Amino acid sequence: FHEYPDLEFLSLSTVMNGVQSEQSRICTLFHRILFISFLAGFKSTGHFFSPSGFDLRPQTNITVQEGKYAYLPCNVMNLGSGVVSWMRRSDAHIISVGNTTFIHDERFQLVHNDELDTWTLQIKLTRETDQGFYECQVSGERKVKVPVYLRIQVPTVKMLGSNELFVKKDSEVQFSCQLSNTLERTDNIIWYFNDKRLLTDRKTGIAITTATNESHGVVSTVHITKVKPTDHGTYTCSPSGPRSQKLVLHVLVGENPAAMQTSCSHHVRSVAA
């Protein structure tokens, strides 16, 4: 090589180019393997996972109706020595670390499944104040955060008409309660009379009917055939959830007007001739 310096230079250059080419080939092969792993993860779970095993979805949006259960998902594979935690962004409150919860509100619970590699935050009997961002975090060499936005759908409950009604004894009356702005159709509207469950009763002349209408939601109606003094009191319309509406029924005895009302949605007529 000393007699042919150009040949020595050519040989070293060729060797270096060969090394660089081999490195490039290995790098390309690695990325192909990584991509195939991503595809395998997607086919099996429906989501892509990072090399650390964390779900790569940028944000998850969950919508539940007020009073129902919410399940906030977090999928982590190959956790190793890392630790999964949940945090509420609104007040930076740490809800859970590992399998231990750090919140006094018993509605919050961590549901961990080893087989599915899931760390789900469960919120029971959701409230409007639960709405907002939550973060699933994985600590380790590189801390990873995935936000989950929880939206609470708040139903609308209202009496169709006045919340106070005056009716003469022996008159017939009916009043209705409307439930709308719900995520799911339901006819689960419960009535209470002076805090006691009110049911259809032919003996007392009380009938409760429920109808569903796409434009008006669910309407539940209490019908009293012949009003008695004992029917005087507070009637509460209570759908499933924390919201309710009340109506006060006054029974008039004597020569008072048969009924005084402020809405045509309340149908009252005297049964006397």
What pLDDT was estimated at residue 218?
Answer: 92
Pick the closest to residue 158 from 238, 78, 93 (CA basis).
238
Task: Give CATH superfamily name and number for 60-153.
Answer: Immunoglobulins (2.60.40.10)
**What residues contact residue 171 under an 8 Å CB cut-off, 6+ apart?**
226, 227, 258, 259, 268, 269, 270, 271
Between the CA of residue 208 and those of 50, 174, 176, 223, what are the distances in Å? Answer: 56, 9, 10, 6
Burial 234-270 (b: 16+ CB within 10 A, else e): ebbbbbbbebebebebebbeeeeebbebeeebbbbee
Burial 168-194 (b: 16+ CB within 10 A, else e): bbebbbbbbbbbeebeeebeebebbbe
Q: Residue 111: which H helix or E strand, with range?
A: strand 108-113
Average pLDDT per run of 10 along the chain, which is 273 residues long? 46 50 54 43 41 57 94 87 92 94 95 90 96 92 86 94 95 95 83 95 94 84 96 93 91 65 42 35
Cα distance between residue 34 and residue 214, in whole Å: 50
Same fold, 60-153 and 156-252: yes
Say if pTM beats, i.e. exceeds, 0.75: no
Which residue in this structure is represented by tokens 């990072």?
Answer: 50
Residue spans per domain, the chain = 60-153, 156-252
Task: Give CATH superfamily name and number for 156-252.
Answer: Immunoglobulins (2.60.40.10)
**What residues contact residue 33 under an 8 Å CB cut-off, 6+ apart?**
none
DSSP secondary structure code for residue 231 in this structure: G
What pLDDT was estimated at residue 117?
Answer: 86
**What residues contact residue 246 under an 8 Å CB cut-off, 6+ apart?**
159, 163, 234, 235, 236, 237
**Amino acid (one-letter) located at 244:** S
